[in-house]
Every structure is written in C-alpha cells, then in structure tokens.
Amino acid sequence: MTDSDARIEEALAALSLEEKVRLLTGRDFWNTWPIEKIGLRAMLFSDGPSGVRGERWDEREPSLNLPSATALGAAFDTGLAHRYGAVLAAEARRKGVDVVLGPTINLHRSPLGGRHFEAYSEDPVLTAGLATAFVRGLQDNGVGATLKHYVANDYEDERFTASSEVGDRALRELYLLAFENAVVEARAWLVMSSYNSINGVTASENDLLETPLNSEWGFDGVVVSDWTGVRSIAAARASQDLAMPGPLGAWGDALVVAVREGKVEEADVDRKVRRILRLATRVGALEGFPARDPAPVESGAAFAREAAAEGIVLLENRDALPWRVDAVGSVAVIGDNAAHARTQGGGSATVLPAYTTSPLDGIRAAFPAAEVRYARGAVVQTGLSPLPADRIENPVTGGPGVRVRFLDATGHEIFAEDRLTTSLVWFGGDAPIAESATVELTTRFTPAEDSTVRIGFATIGAGIVSVDGERVVEADVLAVGDDLGAAFLNPPSATEPIVLVEGRTVHLSFELDLAGRADFLSGALSFQFGTEPDDSEPDALIAEAVEAARSAEVALVVVGTNSLVESEGWDRASLALPGRQDDLVRAVAAVNPRTVVLVNSGSPVLLPWRGEVAAVLLGWFGGQEFGGAVADVLTGRREPGGRLPTTWGESEADVPILDTKPKDGIVEYREGIHIGYRAWLRQPMAPAYWFGAGLGYTHIPLVRLDAPATATPGETVTVSVGVENRGDRDGKQVVLVFAEKPGSAVDRPVRWLVGFAAVRVPAGGSAVADVAVPVRLLAHWDDGWQYEPGEYVLHAGTTAVDLPLTARLTLR
C-alpha cells in the first residue's frame, strides 16, 4: 500500500455513511463537499475545454479564449495539444480550478452535430493522439482532465433521453478509442458519463463504466456525471462515482436509505469515496498532498495566436496568397463575421474573454498604410445581441456597464451588482436567484448611429423593457420544446422596434419576473438584453459590399455561422451558410478577382462558390486572437498550419452520415465502423475536400517511406516518412499513414488512419517524420481484439486519397 492509499483508507474509515454519501454529490454547481475532519477541502470543477471559465460566469473575471477543438484538430500536432493543455492548466490555477471539464472527445459522426466544434475530428486515432497529449498538458501541471462525454454522445437533439444504438465493434474501434488511449497512456483523472443512453441503458447506469473503463483499462479516477445526468439509485450500483451538480439530486438521503435496506452495497459507496479522495490527493485537496508544481507558462495570448494560425486551413489558393504587406494599397473587408467574429461556439464551453480581435482588427493592424474599407454585406448574427459595451453607462456608478438589482416580493433590494455587459448568466456564484422575485437591469445607452432597431430581451419568463420610462416591450416568453437546458442556453426573444438617434442617450431598463420559473432554472439565470439587427434590405447590404470591393486591390470576405446555428443543446438543421452569404461571396468575387474568403465556423459548411474565388481559408472559431492569426496567415508571417480533421462535403445529399434526429428516441449508428472518410471512400460521390486536405505556402512532397517488413501484436512500430521542402519558404507538412487489408476475411474500412505527424521543414531542406503505429490499430474487435495475420498495405500521404508512398507489412 502506498502512502496515499494508506491515507485514503484512514480518511475513509473516519467517515459515517451519511458523510460518505454526501461526498458523492456536489455541494453546488461546481464544487464538491469539503470535510474538515479528514483535511479535505472542496474541489472546484470548471468548463472547458477551450478556456477555463472559473466558478462564475462573469465578464469581470475574464478567461483566455483559445481556438475551438476543431482548430486544434486541424493542426494535427500533439506537441501543440500538450501546450494547449498546459496553458489551460495555468488558467485553471489562476482561477483556483482543480478540474477542467474537457477534453470533449466524441467524434464528428455527422457534420450537423451541434457540438462538432467542441470535438477534434471524425477520426478516432487523431482524436486519441490529441486527447492524450492534452490530458498530459493539464495533469503534468497538477490540474485534472475530464474525458467527456462517455460515450456515443455525438449529437444534441433529445440529448438527455436519446439512446445511441451502436455495436461493440464500432464502440471499441471508434467511439471508445480516444477514451482508452487517454486513460491507459495519460492516466486521465476523470471521465464524464454522458446524458444519452447507449443501447438502451442511460450512461450513468451503463456497464460500460465498468467494462472496459475500469476492468480492462485500469481507470482509477472519478466518473463524474454530466450535469444532472445521475437520475437513479441504479447509477450508484454502477461505476458512476460522483453526481454533479448538487446539493440536490437522485442520491443523497435516498442513497443512505438504499444502503441501509441492502439495495446498494456500502462497499460500492466506499469505492466511489476512495476515488474521490484519490482525486483530492492528485489536485492537492487533501491535507498532506500538495498539488504538483506547475511548469513555467508561456504567454496565453501569444499561444492563442499561434494555435489559431496552426489550425487555419488553406483549401484553395489560385496564386492569391500570401498578400505582401508592402504591395497592397487597399483592402475591402466584408462580412458580419469580419467585424463580429465568432471566436468560440455556444453552450457550456463558453468563456468570457477580456477582448477578442476580429479579422477586421487584424487587417487594420497588419496593413497600417493601406486603405481598409469595411462593409457588412449580409446579416449573419441574427437574434439578440448585447448592447455594445463601450456605449453603455451604469446609472449608479457613472462608469461603463449596467446596474443589476435582485428584489424580493416587496420590491426590497436584496442583492445588487455592477456588470459590464447586457448578456448575463448566473450559473453558480452569489446572486440569490431562488430567493428573488424580480431582477432589474438599468443602463444609459448612447447610440453610435441613427437607426431603427428592435429592442428587447431573450430568456424564459415574463419581462418588461422600458425606454426613457416608457414601456415598449411587455411579454411572457415560453420555452420552445421541452429541453430546458437548450432553452437556458439559447432562449427565444421578445422585441419591438424603436428609433435611435446618434449621440442621444436613452435610459433603458429591463425587469424580469423570477417567481414561478421552472424548477430546473430556479438556481440559475441567463438573459440577454439588447437589440436585433434590421434585415429588411439585404440587397442594399450586398450592393454596398460590391462597391467597397470593386475599387479595392484585394477583398477579404468573412463568412460564417452564428450562435443560433452552432451550439450545445441542438443540432444544425442545414449545412448551408445562414442568410445571404453565398450571394454575397459571388457578388464580390464577380467584381474583384482577388477575393479571398475566410470561413468562420466551427464545423463544415457548404462552399458552393469555392471554384469562383481566389482563395479559401477556414479559420474555425479562432479564439480571442483570431484576427491577429488571420492577418499572420494572409500576409505569410505564418504558414496556414491546418489540414482538415474531418471530410467536408460538396452538398448535403452527398454526406454519407448526416441525420442526427432520434427516431422514437433512438439514433442508430447503422454504419458501424464506417464514418467520416471511411464512409466517403465506400460511395461514388466524392467530397469537396477530403480528410487531410489543406495547402501550405511551399511545396513539401513526401519522398520516402521506411516501414518494418513484419510486426507482432502488442508492439508499436515506427514508420519513417521522408519529406523535402522544394520551395523557398519554411513550411509545415502533415504526414498521414493509413492501413489497408486487401482480401480481409472481415468487414474493414477501405483504409483507416494508423498514425500521423506534423513536421516543420526549412526552405530547401528535408526532414523525416517518425510516425508511431501501434499494431493494435490493425486488429479488429470481435469479442476481444483479433489480429488477422498476413499482409497489410501501409500508405503514406497527405489526405485520405493523396497517398503517394506504399509499404507492405506482414503481421505474424
């Protein structure tokens, strides 16, 4: 027995059944319970995974906003993923966070998946490699990582109740693989069970939590539920350790009774407690076990900028890029997302950065001598936007922002705070939501221009908006559908038109009735107060953009999605860009042959004009330094470092696995092991861009492949791929190694990824990428890992179909 085991046993022995059971449910939204007599403090959990929000959802305590997981997936770089984890660990430490709720390692099964942006790839091996590195980056610095969501949680519709019907083989070879690697290789400290059921059994009660997780992979950490995902005493009999959030929930007193009545073994409770105490020793929450010292950290902002550029994918380049700073005299920057970029997706992963740089900011900074003209071109950000932070004044302090007051039923103020935004979320923190009858926001707003806008609020509940003391909106907004989580994250709005005059200050107030809200919402609150754009003249917006582009030397059109399109809580209805953006691109490209399009989305969209423009870049949700990174890539200061981590289709009809809608509560993973490029390879219609697609600014062909002739189960072989940089700039190449098994006795993908590496090659130089290929990846699951002996073909290349080099490997 180690020292920590002995200490854990001693602590466990000192606890009564009630105390042990109490430890198994959170104390509040984000903390576990402290127990002073055993020297245990509370442990703080926080979302993740593209930043660390901290205990409060509060713009006054900002967080670093890193590029989305899809951007990290596109970098194909485990070194970068490790640094990403380390930078997050520093953020966690700064915010007193012990456990980060990430990485999200579900797969891109359908491009419509609402949380696609939050996961890395359609490929399990790429996902596994990045996850393992990310976990090490966090945990090497003393902060716990949470692999989520276990498992087959690859869509959002009916997410609390749907069952993913998926066979063992697909589970083992695809959906569990990244969990397995990150547990076995990086010893992840936590796993989060998902909301959905797997083959009819809800995740928090599912045997998959025991086998393979504990019994085969030796997981010794904590299985935490997804928030509210523990719904039964049955989950206490399963290998579900911790129910979050608390303090209420399905366990508590009911679990004490169940143990007393012999319905749950006390030994099961003890096992869970041991795991929670072990986590405490790891994060430094149990006396005598300090957290590991963090390594010195690099600058978060500089890392954010580098990581964003490493993820940017250059899909088309007709001699257009890079732009030379000294040779560009005028730039037209066009698009809603050019000025208001989405730097992250919506939902629980949201963080509140201190600032963000837009592509427009990035261009202005990178081309100080050029004339930069901006035109909106199309309305993309539909729905309510908060009032601009630099134009609102707190009527009480006279400083920037708003005053928020919580009132009891007699109208007496019980709590007040000064906030900096009109988009507010209380999900943890001190505000007495449940005890208040009303919340009231007041501010003074000075418009920057004359306009007619719709003013109002978005939340679930009855609210009143007044302008200069006069009521303009009075409405009771009801939830759409029965997913209260989705309603909480992205509620419907009520607005009315008003006329604003440049420079004329208006007094605004919003009152929301908090009494009588749904139970789920009683301790949490979110609302937006602000305006909706006027979209009544779309042709005029396009015409304006065309004028800006016509006489400019080059044009950058930034297209993208909005917060109603990509978010946790629902799946996308379409792959098309919202609004008139396709028309906008075509109209601009028709008058300016040097039109570059930057796509600002976290997941695949259709690019019907991709052959009509000079260049196409994908920037994903690029994090708070997005604009700077975009400028770095446009000007060639940095390489476009990304390659597609997921195949992008030409049209919706071509996409092999599109539908995510449960039928009678069931999502059938009928395709088995054939998702992503594996599915595309089996059908006649080719995609627009294959897995791995993406160009650099130099030419780095793969010239040599060295692989061993034989291999045996259990070993990891090294496949070496030689590359040569034939251009005059330093560059990056992503090397992919695929396997095929011609004439296999079992159903196999046409080919499947078995290893990858990112290499940097100096101008005119060469390099060797050593790609580790675990022989396990040649095995298939059939009631155990089965190794089919004989010859396998290894292909090295850059996409799922561009594979110039071949070697043969015999499995003994």
Q: Mutual orientation of helices 300-311 and 626-634 as an angle, nearest 10°?
A: 50
Angle between helix 124-139 and helix 177-184 axes, rounded to 10 deg: 30
For the CB of residue 45, give the shortest distance to ligand BGC in the complex, in Å. 8
77 contributes a contact to ligand BGC by CB under 6 A: no
Give the whole-angstrom CA distance, residue 508 versus residue 500: 12
Query: In the bound complex, what is the minimum distance in angstroms from residue 47's beta carbon to ligand BGC?
Result: 5
CB of 413 to ligand BGC, least distance (A): 30
Site residues for ligand BGC, 304-363, by CB under 6 A, read 348
Handedness of CA 606, 608, 609, 610 (dihedral sign): positive
Instruction: Determine the Cα–Cα distance for residues 16 and 260; give it in Å rounded to an integer.
Output: 12
Torsion of CA 569, 387, 631, 651, to 10 degrees: 40
Residue with structure tokens 């396990």? 776
Q: Which is nearer to ligand BGC, 227 or 677 (CB)?
A: 227
Q: Which of residues 84-103 bind ligand BGC (CB under 6 A)?
A: 101
Residue type, 704: R
Q: Is 771 in the site for ligand BGC (CB under 6 A)?
A: no
Nearer to ligand BGC, 440 or 483 (CB): 483
Q: Which residues contact 198 (CB under 8 A, 6 or more apart)?
A: 151, 152, 163, 164, 166, 171, 206, 208
Q: CA angle 667-673-676, nearest 5°? A: 85
For ligand BGC, the closer CB: 392 or 489: 489
Instruction: Rule CB under 6 A: say whether 226 interacts with ligand BGC.
Output: yes
SS3 content of the chain, % helix, strand, coil (to 5): 25, 25, 50
- Report the residue number, 145 or 584, with the smaller CB distance to ligand BGC: 145
CB of 486 to ligand BGC, least distance (A): 10
Considering only residues 160 through 189, tell me which ones interact with ligand BGC, judged by CB under 6 A. Answer: none
CB 272 → ligand BGC: shortest distance, Å?
20
Residues 46-75 that bind ligand BGC (CB under 6 A): 47
Please name which of 509, 498, 585, 512 lies closest in space to residue 545, comparing C-alpha atoms.
Answer: 585
Provide the 8-state DSSP code for 478: P
Three-state SS annotation for 547-584:
HHHHCCCEEEEEEECCCCCCECCCCCCCCCCCCCHHHH
| Binding residues with ligand BGC: total (CB under 6 A) | 7
Enumerate the β-bridge partners of residue 600: 560
Of 316 and 483, CB closest to ligand BGC: 483
User: What 3-state class would DSSP assign to 794?
Assistant: strand
- Shortest separation between residue 282's beta carbon and ligand BGC, angstroms: 19
- In the complex, the smallest distance separating the C-beta of residue 101 from ligand BGC, rounded to whole angstroms, is 4
Taking alpha carbons only, the member of 728, 605, 607, 730 closest to residue 316 is: 607
156, 345, 490 from 564: Cα distances, Å: 14, 10, 7
Which CB, 52 or 585, lies closer to ligand BGC? 52
Task: Measure the CA–CA gap between 374 and 395, rounded to whole angstroms.
Answer: 33
If you search the block for the tokens 């010292």, which residue do you land on?
293
Known catalytic residue at 326: no
**Which of residues 485 and 731 has its CB atom nearest to ligand BGC in the complex?**
485
Residue of 227, 609, 626, 697 interacting with ligand BGC (CB under 6 A):
227
Element (H, E) at 311: helix 300-311
Please, what sign has the CA dihedral across residues 183, 186, 190, 192?
negative
Q: In angstroms, give the least distance from the CB of 158 to ligand BGC.
A: 14
Stretch 647-686: interaction string toward ligand BGC, x if CB under 6 A: ----------------------------------------
Identity of the residue, 202 or 581, whose beta carbon is nearer to ligand BGC in the bound complex: 202
Task: Please list the residues that pair with 500 across neighbouring strands.
Answer: 451
Provide the mask over 720-749, with x wherever binding to ligand BGC is found by CB under 6 A and - wherever it is not: ------------------------------
Q: Which residue of this chain has its Cβ atom nearest to ligand BGC in the complex? A: 348
For the chain, give the number of residues: 812
Residue 205 or 568 with smaller CB distance to ligand BGC: 568
Question: Which residue lies nearer to ligand BGC by CB, 485 or 604?
Answer: 485
Instruction: Tell me the Ramachandran region of residue 189: left when phi exceeds 0, alpha when psi lies from -120 to 50, beta otherwise.
Output: alpha
Least CB distance from residue 226 to ligand BGC, whole Å? Answer: 5
Contact in structure between 418 and 392 (CB atoms under 8 Å): no
Active-site residue among 123, 226, 241, 571?
226
Min dist CB 56 to ligand BGC, Å, is: 13
Q: Which of 148, 376, 741, 780 binds ligand BGC (CB under 6 A)?
A: 148
Binding residues (CB under 6 A) for ligand BGC: these are 47, 101, 148, 226-227, 348, 485
* Residues involved in catalysis: 226
